Every structure is written in structure tokens, then in C-alpha cells.
Amino acid sequence: MQVAIDGPASAGKSTVAKIIAKRLSYIYIDTGAMYRACTVIAKNHNLDYGDEKGILEAVASDGIEFKTEGGEQLVYSAGKDISLEIRTPEISANVSQVSALPGVREEMVSLQRKMAGSTNVVMDGRDIGTTVLPNAEVKIFLVASARSRAERRLLDLKQRGIKSDQTVEEIEADIAARDYKDSHRAVSPLKKADDAVEIDTTNMTIEEVVQSILEQIQKKL
């Protein structure tokens, strides 16, 4: 069973994907964390965020690894825990430029397919239903109003202990800019797959979204 969850920034994808994976004992793959890790690696190597060749070399030498510790999924690169760094505003502001590089996408998509293998998986991102797992049995496209997504992002940053002096309006503008770039890039832009079920989570609780996706999975079991 492959479950693909796509949608714009902060629509709640990773929150519900993690819960569903845990309840069904499926593996969970956060593809956004991988593009964020590429962006951290570019920054640590003082590379231009458009330097595809340099970024690919640095990613190949530092590597990106997921580890689960105390039930939490952590991201490591070059032996260092970068789980907090990948969520900082600087990385969020530049990740769309890095994720638009065709070579970076090719490398990450290949890694994502390898990680999914032939096991039960819940994968979230922007192009999972359209490109990474086009044969996924369940495809979900999560959406929510820009303001509610900004409020969720602010709460998420606070809960992760990441300091940010941005207002909700500024976060909303950043999210809108990132969605625009992600939807307009040349290679596998953010787009609902034709066979995906769209769920608007604006006025839904997390549990309601989880239940609605579990129903879709149930239908395919």
C-alpha cells in the first residue's frame, strides 16, 4: 500500500502522514525534509542556491540520513543532527530555489523511490502522486486557506522551539511566495494528481483529516 499526500506548504501533510503511518505501522517518508536538507548542505558549503553541480557534489559527499530516536524522526547530514536547522526561516525561504534544480530533483526522487521500496509507505510532499509514486493506491491532495496555514506554521515553529520574530502576516506572505514558486517550476511542479482526492483541512481537526484519509485507505485494502 502506497499512500501519497501532497499539497501546499503547511496544509498539515506531515502531521497527518505521521499519525497514519504510526497507526498502520507503515513507514513515513518526509520528502520536504530531504529538499530542506539539500538546502542546509548548500548553505554549509557556502554554495549559491542555484549551483546545481556544487550542491549535488556536496549532497553526495555529506549524505542525508533519517534516524528515529524516541519515536521522533531526525535528519542527519555529515554525522550532524540538522533536524532543527532544516526548519529555520532562512532554509524555508531558499528551499524552493534548490528544489527547482532538475538534477537535485532527479537525485531525491530516486532516493525516495528506493526508500519506499515495496513496503507499505506514507509519503508526503509536492509531487508524490504525480511523479514519485504515480501508481500509489491512495492519493490525497490537502489544501487549507493561506491564513490558517500561516497560523499552523507559527504554532509549529513555537512547538519545535525555533525562534522567529515574524508576524502571522509575514509568514502568510512567505508561504504564498513558496507555493507560487513550487507551483510554477518547470520540473514536477506542485499539482493535484488527476486521481487524487482533495481534502480542505481549513475547518477540520487533525483527527477528522486522519479519519478521512483512513477511509480512503480502507476502500483500497
- Residues at the annotated binding site for ATP? 7-15
Name which of 47 and 112 has its Cβ closer to ligand C5P: 112
Nearer to ligand C5P, 20 or 219 (CB): 20
- What DSSP element (H or E) covers 61? helix 52-62
Question: Which segments within the chain are labelled E, that is strand?
Answer: 2-6, 27-30, 65-69, 72-77, 80-81, 121-125, 138-143, 197-200
Q: Is 18 in the site for ligand C5P (CB under 6 A)?
A: no
Name the 3-class secondary structure at 185: coil
* Chain centroid offset of residue 154 CA: 17
Q: Which of 2, 77, 83, 99 binds ligand C5P (CB under 6 A)?
A: 99
Helix (H, G, I), strand (E, B) or coil at 112: helix
Establish if 95 lies at the interface with ligand C5P (CB under 6 A).
yes
Is residue 152 a contact residue for ligand C5P (CB under 6 A)? no
Q: Which of 4, 9, 55, 104 binds ligand C5P (CB under 6 A)?
A: 9
CB of 172 to ligand C5P, least distance (A): 14
Contacts (CB under 6 A) with ligand C5P, residues 43-82: none
Tell me which residues in 201-220 interact with ligand C5P (CB under 6 A).
none
Q: Does 36 bind ligand C5P (CB under 6 A)?
A: yes
Whose Cβ is closer to ligand C5P: residue 158's or residue 215's? 158
For the annotated binding site, the residues are 7-15
125 touches ligand C5P (CB under 6 A): yes
129 neighbors 6 (Cβ within 8 angstroms): yes
Q: Does the footprint of ligand C5P cover residue 96 (CB under 6 A)?
A: yes
CA 203 to chain centre: 22
Cα(4)–Cα(71) distance, integer angstroms: 22
Residues that bind ligand C5P (CB under 6 A): 9, 31-32, 35-36, 95-96, 99, 125-128, 178, 182
